Amino acid sequence: MGFQGTGSAKIPWLRIALAAHGRDARAYMNLRPSRRAGSAPGVPLSVYLIRMPVLKNIAAIAKGMSITFREMFQPTIVENYPDGPGPLKGAKFQARYRGTHVLQRDENGLEKCVACFLCAANCPSNCIYIEAAENTAEHRVSGAERYAKVYNIDYNRCIFCGYCVEACPTDAITHGHGFEVASFNVSGLIYRKEQLLAPMPAHMGANAVFNQDEVGVGAPALPVQGS
Ligand code: SF4
Ligand code: SF4
């Protein structure tokens, strides 16, 4: 910012103005004081004002506002949730939507979770609580040595970041499309394993969109077309 001869570099507000108004302002300020009135050769004040970037940008502003006005007269498209048709009550989802989690099963119906705690370790909100237990010949829950006897997710704290899904070595935990998790009772937002478990074998359960409880009250067990 060297405007030698004007002393502008020493005046903070002038420096800001010069930075904002760019080359035209610099050209004006580099004139001798006697020429700044506008009558002398160089860049008169009136020319400088006309060349101000804000005036130059009027066309851009008008263009932007034209889009606003055009959109004002377009038909309004809203999702009629929760009064829409179907079990989703009119809501629509992208396939990548991260809703409440689903604990998946393998092709034999066994739980995929092997209680390795990696999801809990990677959770930035510290909202996954797991208690592990050993499988036995008489009581086999997962295909590995251990299974999650308790698996809770506290949806008061979950930020749906997906880190737990990324960390899971067995693809046991995924995001479903469950989204109605608002509640007046915070204790109801601690989902237990029974609420998170996929209701069917993995080759179908991997695509399940709602957990067992939600399916029980009418939610689709398989993806709805267009959801
Ligand atoms: S989505 Fe993120 S915050 Fe929620 S349980 Fe998984 S890791 Fe934790
Ligand atoms: S959900 Fe996956 S990462 Fe979490 S304990 Fe089970 S197997 Fe490990």
Walk me through the domains of the chain, giving residue ranges and CATH numbers.
Answer: 8-72 (no CATH), 100-216 (3.30.70.3270)
Ligand index nearest the alpha carbon of residue 181 = 1
pLDDT cut 90: percent of the chain above it: 40
For residues 50 and 38, is the Cβ–Cβ distance under 8 A?
no
- State the burial class of residue 102 (Cβ atoms within 10 Å of its Cβ: 0-12, 13-18, 19+): buried
What is the Cα–Cα distance from 147 to 110, expressed in whole angstroms?
A: 10
Cα 164 to ligand 1 centroid, rounded to whole Å: 5
What is the Cα–Cα distance from 15 to 21, expressed in whole angstroms?
A: 10
Ligand index nearest the alpha carbon of residue 99 = 1
The CA distances from residue 210 to 157, 175, 181, 220, in Å, are 20, 10, 12, 7
**Is pLDDT above 60 for 99?**
yes
What is the Cα–Cα distance from 48 to 22, expressed in whole angstroms?
A: 11
**Is pLDDT above 90 for 167?**
yes
- pTM recorded for the entire structure: 0.61
DSSP state of 227: -
For residues 181 and 189, is the Cβ–Cβ distance under 8 A?
yes
* Best-predicted range by mean pLDDT (10-19, 73-82, 93-102, 112-121): 112-121
- Ligand 1 atom showing the smallest separation from residue 175 Cα: 1
**Is pLDDT above 50 for 89?**
yes
DSSP state of 183: -
Q: Please state the rounded mean pLDDT for residues 132-154.
A: 94
- Would you state the pLDDT for residue 149? 96
What is the Cα–Cα distance from 205 to 109, expressed in whole angstroms?
A: 9
Rg (CA), the chain: 32
Sheet containing 146-154: order of strands? 128-134, 146-154, 190-191
| Alpha-carbon torsion, ordered 92, 104, 158, 212, to 10 deg | 60
Average pLDDT, the chain: 78
Which sign, positive or negative, has the C-alpha torsion 67, 73, 79, 82?
Answer: positive
Weakest-pLDDT range from 3-7, 11-15, 201-205, 206-210: 3-7
Q: Please state the rounded mean pLDDT for residues 24-44.
A: 53
Q: Cβ(127) to ligand 1 under 6 A? A: yes
Q: Please give the residue that has the higher pLDDT: either 216 or 221.
A: 216
Q: Hey, whose CA ends up nearest to atom 1 of ligand 1?
A: 160
Cα 202 to ligand 2 centroid, rounded to whole Å: 15
Which tokens is 211 given?
């957990």
- Would you state the pLDDT for residue 93? 84
For residues 15 and 1, is the Cβ–Cβ distance under 8 A?
yes
- Would you state the pLDDT for residue 67? 94
**Is pLDDT above 70 for 114?**
yes
Cα 214 to ligand 2 centroid, rounded to whole Å: 22
Q: Indicate the pLDDT class of residue 8, thresholds 50, 70 and 90.
A: very low
